[in-house]
Amino acid sequence: MTSSSVTAPLSSLTGVIERITFHSSESGYTVARLNTGNVKQLITIVGSFANIQAGQTLQLQGVWAEHPSYGSQFQVVKYKETKPATLTGIEKYLGSGLIKGVGPVTAHRIVKHFGLETLEIIEHQIDRLIEVPGIAKKRIAMIQRTWEEQKSIKEVMIFLSGHGVSTTYAVKIYKQYGDSAIATVTTNPYQLAIDIFGIGFLTADKIARNVGVAPDSQFRYKAGIIHVLDKASEDGHCYLPENKIIPMSRELLTVKGVPDSSGSNKRGQNEDETSTEIEEKTEHEADERAIVNILSEMVQLEELIRERDENEIIYYKPTFYYSEQHLAKLILQKIENSLDVDSDRVKSWINRYTASRKIQLSPQQYLAVLKAASEKLMILTGGPGTGKTFSVHTIFKLWKAMGRKIACAAPTGRAAKRLSEMTGLEAKTIHRLLEFDPGSMGFKRDLDNPLECSAIVIDESSMMDLFISHSLFKAIPKDCQVLLVGDIDQLPSVGAGNVLSDMIASEKITVVRLTQVFRQAAESAIIRTAHQINRGHYPQIEPISMKANSDCLWHSGGTEPEHGVQTVKELIEYYIPHAGFNPATDVQVLCPMTRGVVGTRNLNKVLQQLINPKSEGKDELVRGDSILRVGDRVMQLKNDYNKEVFNGDLGMVMKFDHIDKKVNINFDERDVVYDYADLNEITLAWATSIHKSQGSEYPVVILPLYTQHYVMLSRNLFYTGLTRAKKLALIIGSEKAVAIAVKQVKQQQRYTRLKERLEKAI
């Protein structure tokens, strides 16, 4: 363990951790109260701990300091855990949650029965636990398994904490590699960035340097280049041009921030602290020529694919290159020939169908239905209120009349549910439609085992990224008709690629765009406002008042973000209930960004305290500076095929099992069990980013827009957030921010070549 530079002589303390006041799972920074034998005078200790629990007996070395607000503190420099020597210490240690199968009640029974010999009994004669009332053989097996695991994991924890890895990630590393964790980390620390969700290149690089990997090693340079491409893919890019990847890699691989050899300006314990007195120097200036050489070597080893795009050289990771290339091939094969259909007969069916139901299709809708009869691949796009839903419904009726076996799917569970309600047929998420196989970590449905359908509709198709699109088209039978439905003016997919836009821009695929807003839909202020934004006009929105009856309202939240937080609270507490909605189930706050006062991170804490506060009898889990409670709305942050929950899925916390260290979360009426170590895969979701809301609808949306969000403000972001509201949209913020959002057509360029591959049939 390391700490800030200490010049005073070290003092020693031994005691039992009475309680944890604060613990950051990321940095390990901890404030705790230590009992050295005088329970009336607990000592405050501060320091960085890999794994700390109430009941642990610790031998500490450090210095005494006087905090201006909190008084005397012992600043820990080094520590060592010893077995607790008192009955109280043993009971607290066992009941702290470290050992699955042992809670406070069970710990009390065990210690009452075995006394000071408790830990020796567990270590060497664990079968004797059967003597304790209420402990069965099954429970003993669990205790034995986790006791052994704790011994192994403690070694890993100590090793990793010495290299700056937090407790949370140490647990995940152990779960991934088991007893070979230390060997894996020592041999190839960069493997962590590939295998462990949440660990990136920077953390792996810190470990690599500590275990002796040289800053200019080829191993490190390769890992850095891959990291640059991975980060680019998070921004939607499928490749990077040479004039981007070289400087980005050079910046990443240059090592800075090393203090001078005197040690007088080492950083403090808290990783967020900075000091103007620290003079950074460059330990290693990354060599551009070395990066170019390694890029060439990686191409020769087929670790990267190099291609020339017009006048520039570009670099792909192989999975991106082959997926994009093969997707283009599958699309081109799909559109080679249209089906031989009697158009007069189709027109006759449309006329009979509309007449019998006394409905009338717009010319654009009529064209969409007519084309859907014969096209093997068609895109239907349009904004809210333009009749996409009714057009799809009519196409379904036509396909059924033609004897088609129809499949329905969408990227998210909520979008699939809406599609099912629209068509009357079962609709699945694309992942479930393709039948993920945990054994092979791939989909069962593919070229060799295609879907059993002759027509398929995919709703919210603007959300489809490169990889899910490729997997889908591989599984679609050769003669199956495909209808892709989506709003092209929404934000592009969260994942890499810009598939729907590229397909439309290629002009190779039949596209019907609905633009006519129907009179009934135009009565909705949400729809009128959305189209005003899309046309680049400053929206005319009615101010919020208790008498307002519009479904789209404006509240000037001032220019300061702090005022915006107060406005959100007032809307939740007063206006939402007055309007007849339930804040706990009907309202979603959507933010342009995660950071900042009116970002999702801060608003989630505010909203949790407001909507789901701590109360007697309500169970919760405290993890560092974050709290998770029963009843909290949460969001999944990564695709987890084994659990069948995917990036952006919303769930609710149902219960905690503090003995087995598990939590049940309900996603769409299906309970999913998480280990505590996997909880970094979810986050509170009372407030979410607009990007994460794609494909979802909510009864009420609160949309804060402030100039603090300037870097993210854009027309399609504003439009996407607004159109998530089904019954009521409440826009708050500054008029300047709204004007910026409407003005900026910030359709970020994504480095993709699907359009070119379709155009040139590469």
Q: What is the pLDDT of residue 353?
A: 93
Angle at 505 between CA 502 and CA 510, to 5 degrees: 100
Q: What is the DSSP string of 163-198?
A: TT--HHHHHHHHHHHGGGHHHHHHH-TTHHHHHSTT
Looking at residue 736, its pLDDT comes to: 92
Tell me what pLDDT residue 674 has. 92
Asked whether residue 653 is domain-assigned, the answer is yes
Q: Is residue 100 part of a domain?
A: no
Question: Of 512, 528, 557, which marks where a domain is finished?
Answer: 512
The residue among 252, 245, 176, 161 whose CA lies nearest residue 207 is: 161
DSSP 90-135: HHHHHTTTTSTT--HHHHHHHHHHHGGGHHHHHHH-GGGGGGSTT-
Task: Assign 60 to helix, strand or coil.
Answer: strand
Going through 411-449 in order, the beta strands assigned E by DSSP cover 427-429, 436-437, 442-443
Q: Which of 41, 66, 81 is the last residue of a domain?
A: 81
486 in the same domain as 564: no
pLDDT at res. 265: 36
What is residue 5's predicted lDDT score, i.e. its pLDDT? 41
pLDDT band at 677 (very low <50, low <70, confident <90, very high): confident
Angle, helices 363-372/388-401, rounded to nearest 10 degrees: 40
Looking at residue 272, what is its pLDDT?
A: 35
Alpha-carbon torsion (112, 116, 117, 118), positive or negative: positive
| Together in a domain, 339 and 464 | yes
Query: Rounded to whole angstroms, how far apart are CA atoms 527 and 525?
Result: 5
Domain presence at residue 183: no
Which residues, including other chains, have CB under 8 Å from residue 241's CB and lie 6 or more apart? 309, 312, 313, 314, 315, 751
Least confident piece of the model among 119-123, 216-220, 466-470, 652-656: 119-123
| Residue-wise pLDDT tens digits, 448-476 | 999 999 999 999 999 999 999 999 999 99
Structural domain includes residue 179: no
Q: How confident is the model at residue 217 (pLDDT cuts 50, 70, 90)?
A: confident
| pLDDT for residue 368 is more than 60 | yes
- Count the alpha carbons within 13 Å of 309 in the hemisphere toward its beta carbon: 19
For the chain, give the mean pLDDT: 85
Range of the domain at 551: 537-612+686-744
Same domain assignment for residues 35 and 59: yes
What is the rounded distance in angstroms from the CA atom of residue 36 to the CA atom of residue 42? 7
- Average confidence (pLDDT) over 625-651: 87
| pLDDT score for 268 | 34
Q: Quick: pLDDT tens for 737-761.
A: 999 999 987 656 899 999 999 998 6
User: Is residue 142 predicted with pLDDT exceeding 90?
Assistant: no
> Does residue 680 share a domain with residue 690?
no
The answer to whether residue 181 sits within a structural domain is: no
Q: How confident is the model at residue 147, as a pLDDT? A: 79
Stretch 482-492: mean pLDDT: 92
Tell me the CATH number at 648: 2.30.30.940
Distance, first Cα to last Cα, the chain: 56
Tokens of 689: 């980013």
Same structural domain, 407 and 508: yes
Mean pLDDT of 388-402: 93
Whether residues 605 and 716 share a domain: the answer is yes
Contact indicator for 693, 720 with CB cutoff of 8 Å: yes
Are both 300 and 397 inside the same structural domain?
A: no
For residues 506 and 547, membership in a common domain is answered with no
CA-wise closest residue to 569 among 610, 601, 597: 610
CATH of the domain at 417: 3.40.50.300
Q: Is the pLDDT reported for residue 149 higher than 60?
A: yes
Quick: pLDDT tens for 506-519.
Answer: 999 999 999 988 87
Mean pLDDT score, 239-264: 77
Is 500 inside a domain boundary?
A: yes
Is 3's pLDDT higher than 60?
Answer: no
Mean predicted confidence (pLDDT) in 520-539: 89
Query: Which residue type sits at 561?
Result: P
Mean pLDDT of 543-549: 85
Q: Where does a domain end: 81, 114, 138?
A: 81
What pLDDT, on the 0 to 100 scale, is given for residue 282? 64
Q: Is 386 annotated as a binding residue?
A: yes
The percentage of the chain sitting over the pLDDT mark of 70, rounded to a whole number, equals 90
Q: Give the mean model confidence (pLDDT) for residues 579-598.
A: 93
Average confidence (pLDDT) over 128-147: 85
695: confidence class by pLDDT, cuts 50, 70, 90: confident
Q: Which candidate, 383, 741, 750, 415, places its Cα nearest to that of 593?
A: 741
Same domain, 251 and 357: no
389 is in an annotated binding site: yes
Which CATH number do you get for residue 249? 1.10.10.2220
For the chain, percent of residues with pLDDT exceeding 90? 46
Given strand 377-382, what is the order of strands in its sheet?
427-429, 406-410, 455-458, 481-486, 377-382, 510-514
Residue 358 and residue 431 in one domain: yes
pLDDT score, position 30: 85
Task: Flag whether pLDDT at 318 surpasses 60.
Answer: yes
Assign 634 to helix, strand or coil: strand
Number of domains in the chain: 5
Q: Residues 382, 475: one domain?
A: yes
Check whether residue 653 and residue 701 sit in a common domain: no
CB 696 within 8 A of CB 635: no
Note whether residue 42 is domain-resident: yes
Residue 18, both tokens = 């009475």
CATH number at residue 24: 2.40.50.140
- Identify whether 142 is part of a domain: no
**pLDDT, position 39:** 62
Does 28 appear as a known binding residue? no
- Please check whether residue 106 is in contact with residue 135, taking contact to mean a CB–CB distance below 8 angstroms: yes
Q: Which residue has the tokens 């520039």?
A: 312
Is 387 annotated in some ligand binding site? yes
* 625-637 average pLDDT score: 90
481's torsion region: left (phi>0), alpha (psi -120 to 50) or beta?
Answer: beta
pLDDT at 45: 93
Whether 278 has a pLDDT exceeding 70, the answer reads no
